[in-house]
């Protein structure tokens, strides 16, 4: 493995993660109605740290292979959309727009996973938990939207 390439992908993941520090869930989010199955707060940084490490490692594996343009394009798109969601949802307090971003993020993560599978089995497998986690995040975003229609309308 080329550690310098891994560090570049990890740096992109850290940039995405930084939005969580810049736009943390505050009183607005805490006061929203959420479904009973909402994961506990401590799980989010643990899950994202694990997913970012796996994503950077998977991207490093595929980046070293030939004919990887689509795979790397999908990876770039998913990390950009990942970076966008937190400021939209927590910063701007846009529940519906956050859900739209999550739909595109899910498509990009799924596309990354499929394209990684075409190049490297391990890289593709490393993206399976990411697809699952973004699916849960999308379901949670949708549930928050449905449970808080006045808030979703206010921030339209």
Q: What is the pLDDT along the chain (156 residues), one digit of tens a residue?
A: 789 999 999 999 999 999 988 998 889 999 999 999 999 989 999 999 999 999 999 999 999 999 999 999 999 999 999 999 999 999 999 999 999 999 999 999 999 999 999 999 999 999 999 999 999 999 999 999 999 988 877 765
Alpha carbons within 13 angstroms on the beta-carbon side of residue 12 total 21
DSSP structural state of residue 110: H
Supply the pTM of this predicted model: 0.92
Taking the alpha carbons at both ends of the chain, their separation in whole angstroms is 46
């Amino acid at each position: 493995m080329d550690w310098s390439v891994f560090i570049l992908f990890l740096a992109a993941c850290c940039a995405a993660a930084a939005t969580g520090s810049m736009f943390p869930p505050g009183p607005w989010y805490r006061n929203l109605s959420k479904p009973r199955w909402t994961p506990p707060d401590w799980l989010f940084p643990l899950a994202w740290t694990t997913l970012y490490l796996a994503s950077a490692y998977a991207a490093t594996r595929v980046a070293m292979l030939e004919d990887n343009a689509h795979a790397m394009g999908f990876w770039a798109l998913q990390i950009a959309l990942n970076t966008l969601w937190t400021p939209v949802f927590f910063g701007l307090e846009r529940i519906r727009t956050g859900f739209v971003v999550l739909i595109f993020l899910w498509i990009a993560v799924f596309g990354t996973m499929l394209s990684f599978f075409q190049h490297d089995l391990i890289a593709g497998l490393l993206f399976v938990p990411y697809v699952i986690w973004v699916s849960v995040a999308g379901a949670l975003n949708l549930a928050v939207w449905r449970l808080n229609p006045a808030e979703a309308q206010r921030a339209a």
